[in-house]
Structure 1
Amino acid sequence: MLTTTQFYSTCTSPWTLIFSFCTIVLLHIFRRRPVLPFPPGPKGLPILGNALDMPCGNPWLTYSQWGKTYNSDIVHVNSLGTHVIVLNSAKAVHELFEKRSSIYSDRLKGKGLPYRIRMSWNIAFLPYGPRWRAWRKVFYEHFHPNASRQYRPRELRAARQLLENLLRTPEQYRHHLRFMTGQVIMGIAYGIEVAPHDDPYVSLAETALQAVESASTTGWTFDMLPFYKHLPWWFPGASFKKEAARLAPHIDDMVNKPYQTVKDALVTGTAVPSVAASMIASLGENPSHEDELASKAVPATMYIGGADTTVASLLTFFLAMVLHPDAQSRAQREIDSVVGAGRLPDFGDEMSLPYVSAVVEEVMRWHPVAPVAVPHRLIVDDVYKGYFLPAGSIVIGNTWAVLHDESVFPEPLRFQPERFLNLNVKLPDVGFGFGRRICPGRFMARSSMWITVASVLAAFDICPVVNGQGVPQIPKEEYSAGPVSYPEEFACTIRARSKHAEELIVSSLRDTT
């Protein structure tokens, strides 16, 4: 008979722990064998399943290749008992995320990415339930199509300011684009006018965005590995936990500091209209913790969700114009014929500039800012095309695959705006998410994108840099692999189209202030 000491020694020996771990994993994997098959996918290893197959860099390309390899628009992998379903077509996305949205709108459970960086308040990460529905409703009230139109004057002023900044220091175009997006979003969210350089609120937000980038680059993958959240930060591959812990306080500052600024301004009577001011004013004298948390979450979600994505889209626009001068020239000819030489485009010209609008659509299709959407979670068992999809599955919408489907977009890697002049082709809103999880700020984002693109095309030529031998230096089409995918640094020449255009830039900014 074992003594108590011997019993605990046996139970805690390394081999016993390994055996126990393997047994638990096997029981988890084989606890039920569905009658119907899983969707096709790469064959996994014993116990590990497809854990080693999960891509860390450019996952949208791996997922797309799996779809082609297995000739299926829905692919299945099993990572240590966690089922992952990838949707690679508009049809699959529509059938599951749209028509069955009530069971496909949840997010990952447990202490995953949002908790590691203290961003569980972010509406995009909230579990599907009463809190999400309530906060989403408030967000939509400020950003539905009609409500979004009230922000157009601010978007127009920011676009005009961008033109003047590009005229003065065109080589700093990346900084100018980031300032413009901060100017728009901080103004709408908090009524805060940001400084052109070293603005403390923009700095807070940028550090917070770095935290999201750092955690997301590896975080979503490891959320698919059930045991990984228990490993210490020094374990190989888990160092991102330490980095996330370092950056998390900056997330807190981004949520709390501009919010407190608005509260103080309301007390002194100096607050300007904003989403935060409206929500704080509606709280009353003794707000509940839940109501105050919502009034912080909505404007903060605005910034964290809109700043990076808008900058990435506009950088893709600049890269596309450098690489495709014919598209740039055609758009400029359209602007010249419709708007004329006496002014710059405004929102009233949108319906008369179909090719410019097609350029905007093609920018968002050619390289979507979020090639892989934030993962969904299936609530109950489901069946699709005769395949079994188990409850608890992580369901990933591959935005890249949907927008590069050759049956819908021939030669999908080509930048070809005219494809959207065909009335039978309409860009799905998948670039903004799926189903009930689609971004409610997409209407404002589109209008801001349109006025910026139209204004820049009217005023500037965007060209390759020419070296000392007169040879154009064509930049490479390279993108970052993070959750928001940016073009890598590239040089370009941005010059006013004429002396008259320079004068128009200066006078148009004065007219909007």
Structure 2
Amino acid sequence: MLLELIATCCLIVSFIPLLASVASLVSPLLSKKLRVPCIPRRWPIVGNAFQLPMNRCHIIFSEWSKRYGAVFEVKLFNEKIVVLNDYDSIHEALVQAGSTFAGRPRMHRTDQKERCKNSIVWQTYTQKLVLLRKEVHRSLKMYGPGLQTLEDVCKPELEFLMDKIQEMGNKPFDPSGIFFDSVCNVMLYFLLGLRFQSCSREIETIREMSKLFNETFGAGDGKRLDVIPWLRFGQNEETRRLEKALGIRDCLWDSLVKRHRMFSEKSVIGHLQTLKGEGSDIDDNTIKECFTNLILAGVDTTATSLSCLILILLNNRHLQTQIQMEIDRVFPDGSFPALSGRHHTPFIEAVILELLRYISHVPLAVPHSTLENASISGYHIDAHSTVYMNLWASHHDESVWPNPWKFDPSRFLDDRGSLHGPQHPSRKRLLVFGAGRRVCLGETFAKNRLYLFVTVLLQRFTFVPEDPGTLPEVDPRSYDLGLVLHPKPFRVKAIIREQKS
């Protein structure tokens, strides 16, 4: 009996090295199964580049997600990019693992003039960035008394905009230009404490700068500068645009500083100027870069959203009528719309939310980078991986948003016409401004400003097309991709409304 027991123990001991060898062979295979799936048909050197037209990459990614799953990897020349395409994976990355996904990838475009070290948008997650975000958020003051400040700033600018539109008479005009000017002036006041005439050199310079940066820093064709090394040398189109954009930015900033030196301490940039030399690592280059980030992010997005809404309303006249009925009820006798009325205008709120979902105007958000090894939807993602949040796919997911290409504000309303609360699935799944540690600082500012512009415009005017047969496609899949999606140009007429009591 004792001999049998000893023999059995010896047999077990002899199997231990064998079991260890088997485990060492099986373990990599198991872990390999948890690697992010790669889009197939990769070519040597270029990877998936030939399969991916960059000006439609958000749409292609969405189509691939139906075939390969919500999480996959693409390779563009020397860069591997993990793409997250549904709410669950994006929410897991931004919220549940927010500290891990809070980085920004190194990019040739943001390395120029060390923008990545000073930017509030392109800088990876550092203590300097934490400080900048805190101070910018504090100076925007978009709660409590800050809302009254926003109204006070917007009111004269909106009245000027109304007068300008009224001067058009029955002449058709492109709304994008005048929307840009007005939104830009509101933003300039908050950033610098200054206002300029719509035809001023400063506004025209910002318009040109915005166009160049939109072409250069989006996920579209400008991305080639990051992934094709030889484009960084010589004078190709992308390099020329980038150099021109940075040159225009520097000239504008130098001119502003030369004339005004210190800006109002109540403004965002003036507040940052007061922090220089306090051991905060904030210097003149940091302040210039923050101005660039905030003016670009805060103007084109809202101005384009307004243009898109007008285009949508031209194709859905009943929605324009319904909005105007709600405005007349809540703001009778033509009284200037106030932010305090937002809670009494659920349909307008739903229209704005649906607008942001429908156009998803920054479809891939700003690229993220993992600060350490991570896991999303059970897949392993290496540290320092570039990660795209495909908000476009999430906001047009048919399993979440039935008939996603239909503009339907009722998605955000209950059966009584009341707005769904913040915890309702339709509200939680709307991630236009991102989430977590890198959520857009201007979310509240942007929504309140958009509300004021929409209500004032539709209180005073009814918009009709110059020629219904010449309207561009309203479907956002036809929009041009840059940093922000833009519809094709169009022209409208603004009919003055009779104020109803």
Could you state the TM-score of these two structures normalised by the residue count of structure 2?
Answer: 0.83
Is the CA contact (8 Å cut-off) linking 2:100 and 2:372 kept in structure 1?
yes
Distance of aligned partners of 1:386 and 1:279 in 2 relative to their CA distance in 1, 3 Å threshold = closer
Distance of aligned partners of 1:455 and 1:427 in 2 relative to their CA distance in 1, 3 Å threshold = farther
Displacement, 1:195? 0.7
Are 1:115 and 2:111 an aligned pair? Answer: yes
Is the CA contact (8 Å cut-off) linking 2:225 and 2:239 kept in structure 1?
no
Q: What does 1:116-131 align with in structure 2 at a 5 Å threshold?
A: 116=112, 119-120=115-116, 121-131=118-128
1: CA distance, partners of 2:161 / 2:494: 12
Per the alignment, residue 89 of structure 1 pairs with 86
Is the CA contact (8 Å cut-off) linking 1:378 and 1:392 kept in structure 2?
yes
User: Which SS does the other structure have where 1:290 is aligned?
Assistant: coil
User: Which SS does the other structure have where 2:54 is aligned?
Assistant: coil
Per the alignment, residue 485 of structure 1 pairs with 485
Are 1:441 and 2:433 an aligned pair? Answer: no
Question: Number of residues paired by the alignment?
Answer: 452
Displacement, 1:87? 0.9
2: CA distance, partners of 1:386 / 1:81: 25
2: CA distance, partners of 1:413 / 1:38: 33
Q: Which residue, 305, 312, 315 being the options, matches 2:307?
A: 315
2: CA distance, partners of 1:142 / 1:433: 21
Q: Which residue, 387, 392, 397 being the options, matches 1:395?
A: 387
Q: What does 1:310-459 align with in structure 2 at a 5 Å threshold?
A: 310-422=302-414, 423=420, 424=424, 425-426=426-427, 428=429, 430-459=431-460
2: CA distance, partners of 1:427 / 1:202: 36
1: CA distance, partners of 2:240 / 2:230: 12
Displacement, 1:296? 3.5
Are 1:214 and 2:210 an aligned pair? Answer: no
| 1:363-413 C-alpha deviation (Å, 9 max, x unpaired) | 111102211111111222223333222222210011111111222221111
User: Which SS does the other structure have where 1:83 is aligned?
Assistant: strand
| 1:244-301 C-alpha deviation (Å, 9 max, x unpaired) | 223321121233332443326x6xxxx58422233334547x9887344444443432
- Higher mean alpha-carbon deviation, 293-302 vs 384-393, is at 293-302
User: Which SS does the other structure have where 2:427 is aligned?
Assistant: coil
User: Which SS does the other structure have where 1:194 is aligned?
Assistant: coil
2: CA distance, partners of 1:184 / 1:165: 16
User: Which SS does the other structure have where 1:58 is aligned?
Assistant: helix
Is the CA contact (8 Å cut-off) linking 1:185 and 1:306 kept in structure 2?
yes
Are 1:158 and 2:157 an aligned pair? Answer: yes
2: CA distance, partners of 1:495 / 1:427: 37
Distance of aligned partners of 1:188 and 1:56 in 2 relative to their CA distance in 1, 3 Å threshold = same
Is the CA contact (8 Å cut-off) linking 1:372 and 1:397 kept in structure 2?
yes
Q: Which residue, 50, 57, 63 being the options, matches 1:52?
A: 50
2: CA distance, partners of 1:222 / 1:151: 39
Are 1:35 and 2:48 an aligned pair? Answer: no
Distance of aligned partners of 1:157 and 1:393 in 2 relative to their CA distance in 1, 3 Å threshold = same
Q: What does 1:248-287 align with in structure 2 at a 5 Å threshold?
A: 248-263=246-261, 273-283=266-276
User: Which SS does the other structure have where 1:379 is aligned?
Assistant: coil
Per the alignment, residue 79 of structure 1 pairs with 76
User: Which SS does the other structure have where 2:431 is aligned?
Assistant: helix
User: Which SS does the other structure have where 1:395 is aligned?
Assistant: strand
Q: Which residue, 298, 304, 312 being the options, matches 1:306?
A: 298
Per the alignment, residue 15 of structure 2 pairs with none
2: CA distance, partners of 1:172 / 1:239: 28
Displacement, 1:59? 1.4
Displacement, 1:90? 1.2
User: Which SS does the other structure have where 2:282 is aligned?
Assistant: helix
Is the CA contact (8 Å cut-off) linking 2:139 and 2:266 kept in structure 1?
no
Are 1:496 and 2:496 an aligned pair? Answer: yes
Displacement, 1:463? 1.7
Distance of aligned partners of 1:393 and 1:288 in 2 relative to their CA distance in 1, 3 Å threshold = closer
Distance of aligned partners of 1:480 and 1:472 in 2 relative to their CA distance in 1, 3 Å threshold = closer
The one-letter code matched in structure 2 to 1:114 is T
| 1:462-502 C-alpha deviation (Å, 9 max, x unpaired) | 12224xxxx7654322411111111110122221123x58x
Distance of aligned partners of 1:251 and 1:84 in 2 relative to their CA distance in 1, 3 Å threshold = same
Displacement, 1:92? 0.7
Is the CA contact (8 Å cut-off) linking 1:108 and 1:394 kept in structure 2?
yes
| 1:19-56 C-alpha deviation (Å, 9 max, x unpaired) | xxxxxxxxxxxxx9963343334212344432333331
User: Which SS does the other structure have where 2:349 is aligned?
Assistant: helix
Is the CA contact (8 Å cut-off) linking 1:211 and 1:248 kept in structure 2?
no
The one-letter code matched in structure 2 to 1:173 is P
| 1:122-164 C-alpha deviation (Å, 9 max, x unpaired) | 3111121122112111111123542742323112332232222
What percentage of residue pairs aligned between the two structures are identical? 22
Distance of aligned partners of 1:438 and 1:412 in 2 relative to their CA distance in 1, 3 Å threshold = same
- Structure 2: unaligned runs, 5 residues or longer: 1-27, 415-419
Per the alignment, residue 464 of structure 1 pairs with 465
- Structure 1: unaligned runs, 5 residues or longer: 1-31, 505-513
Distance of aligned partners of 1:107 and 1:164 in 2 relative to their CA distance in 1, 3 Å threshold = same
Is the CA contact (8 Å cut-off) linking 1:382 and 1:389 kept in structure 2?
yes
Displacement, 1:75? 1.7
| 1:430-451 C-alpha deviation (Å, 9 max, x unpaired) | 2223432221011111111001
Is the CA contact (8 Å cut-off) linking 2:472 and 2:488 kept in structure 1?
no
1: CA distance, partners of 2:286 / 2:402: 44
Per the alignment, residue 188 of structure 1 pairs with 190
Distance of aligned partners of 1:350 and 1:94 in 2 relative to their CA distance in 1, 3 Å threshold = same
User: Which SS does the other structure have where 1:156 is aligned?
Assistant: helix
Is the CA contact (8 Å cut-off) linking 1:361 and 1:420 kept in structure 2?
yes
Is the CA contact (8 Å cut-off) linking 2:334 and 2:459 kept in structure 1?
no
2: CA distance, partners of 1:427 / 1:325: 29
Distance of aligned partners of 1:308 and 1:128 in 2 relative to their CA distance in 1, 3 Å threshold = same
